[in-house]
Amino acid sequence: MYIAEIRIENFRLFGASDQAFVLPLTSGLTALVGENDAGKTAVIDALRLVLGTRDQDMLRVDPMDFHQATPGGERADQIIIRLIFRGLTTADRGAFAEFLTYETAAGATDTALILTWVAKRNAKEGSSRRVLPPEWRTGTKGDGPLLDLGARSLLTATYLRPLRDAERAMSAGRGSRLSQILQHTKEIRDTGNPFNKLADPPDDPKTLSVLGLGDYASHLFGESEGIKQARKRLNEDYLRPLSFANDLLHARIGVAGAQEDNLRLRQLLEKLELALTASSDTESAHTRGLGSNNLLFMACELLLLAAESDGFPLLLIEEPRGASPPAAPTAFDVVLAGTG
């Protein structure tokens, strides 16, 4: 499934009727190139409003987003953004069955998902809400069933914002983007075996999963002679004299972590970082500039998109900063918005 047409009315610099923005698209890569203030960001933001993004960063409609035909003139009453999706697979038809539009042309029937997003200004006097909650309508004229939250969640896009810090996103740390990406890749989830500390002979570390390696490392810490001695000294020299005779206190030194597998996996992955190397067979980091690090960031996002079996695979990249797009993006759509 891909976006075959975008139509934007009364949103920022785009007007209505013959002043509306209409862009037909094909599956694959689309690059929006133009001068400053030509409306590239408006197109990206229109897609974000309709589809939402996976980072859960909500973009809200502002009264200033309603088109103003002339300086000082009245602003439009409503914004209309219409997306037509074509090339639906069998899985797409099943997921959006009740919202589909069936079109007949030249004796053949085509299936499309036509989504019309409408936001209206609040004309009620004295109301603090200046914009009414938007509606996601389906059907050729927006007269079909409203698209529910579950169906909308299948359309969310991956969005790389401008002025992003690609190097920081690929660094280790709590809540890192790299850990979020790796946690949802099948290679991380499904490869390797769990660690069994009672196995005889012991497990070969190379056969362990990421979680298994984490458990193995925790076991090795516990078996470390230095940690054992520190624990013994803590218990015998300090805790024992401070305890009651019938209630001895005992300390355990171990690796902190959650018990639930998904949380433990995330904590392990948050310790990883990703950096460019001089060649594929070296472990040393290779200093690269902003453009190369952005390519690395994009590659990771594409890795996640290609691994997902459900949802709408759309990647929005604002200000790609000279990065070369993938040669043949067949499994997902990419929209690049940049200056000329």
Render pLDDT for 29-78 as a digit per residue (tens, 0 to 9). Answer: 888 888 888 899 999 999 999 999 887 677 899 999 999 999 889 999 99
Please state, in angstroms and rounded to a whole number, the distance separating the CA atoms of residues 271 and 182: 12
φ, ψ of residue 310 to 5 degrees: the values are: -125, 170
φ, ψ of residue 192 to 5 degrees: the values are: 100, 170
Please state, in angstroms and rounded to a whole number, the distance separating the CA atoms of residues 97 and 327: 33
**CA-wise closest residue to 122 among 39, 170, 63:** 63
| Residue 110: pLDDT over 80 | yes
Task: Provide the strand spans (E) within the chain.
Answer: 2-9, 21-24, 29-34, 78-86, 101-105, 108-120, 135-138, 158-160, 314-318, 333-339
The answer to whether the beta carbons of residues 9 and 16 sit under 8 Å apart is yes
How confident is the model at residue 256, as a pLDDT? 72
Q: Average model confidence (pLDDT) for the chain?
A: 85
Please state, in angstroms and rounded to a whole number, the distance separating the CA atoms of residues 157 and 61: 18
Task: Give the up-direction half-sphere exposure of residue 68: CA atoms within 13 A in the CB hemisphere.
Answer: 9
Q: pTM value?
A: 0.73
Q: Residue 328: which pLDDT band, with cuts at 50, 70 and 90? A: very low
The answer to whether the beta carbons of residues 333 and 315 sit under 8 Å apart is yes
Please state, in angstroms and rounded to a whole number, the distance separating the CA atoms of residues 92 and 101: 13
Residue 315's Cβ-count burial label (10 Å; 0-12, 13-18, 19+) is buried
Q: Residue 123: which pLDDT band, with cuts at 50, 70 and 90? A: confident
Please state, in angstroms and rounded to a whole number, the distance separating the CA atoms of residues 88 and 102: 12
How confident is the model at residue 23, as a pLDDT? 95
How do beta strands 2-9 and 21-24 pair? antiparallel
Please state, in angstroms and rounded to a whole number, the distance separating the CA atoms of residues 213 and 207: 9
Q: How far is CA 157 from the centre of its chain?
A: 7
How confident is the model at residue 187, as a pLDDT? 87
Please state, in angstroms and rounded to a whole number, the distance separating the CA atoms of residues 177 and 272: 11
Distances (CA, A) of 269 to 62, 64, 228, 265, 296: 38, 42, 27, 6, 17
Q: Residue 330: which pLDDT band, with cuts at 50, 70 and 90? A: very low
φ, ψ of residue 191 to 5 degrees: the values are: -95, 130
Q: Residue 316 is encoded by which pair of tokens?
A: 């929005």
For the residues 1-22, what does the mean pLDDT come to?
A: 95
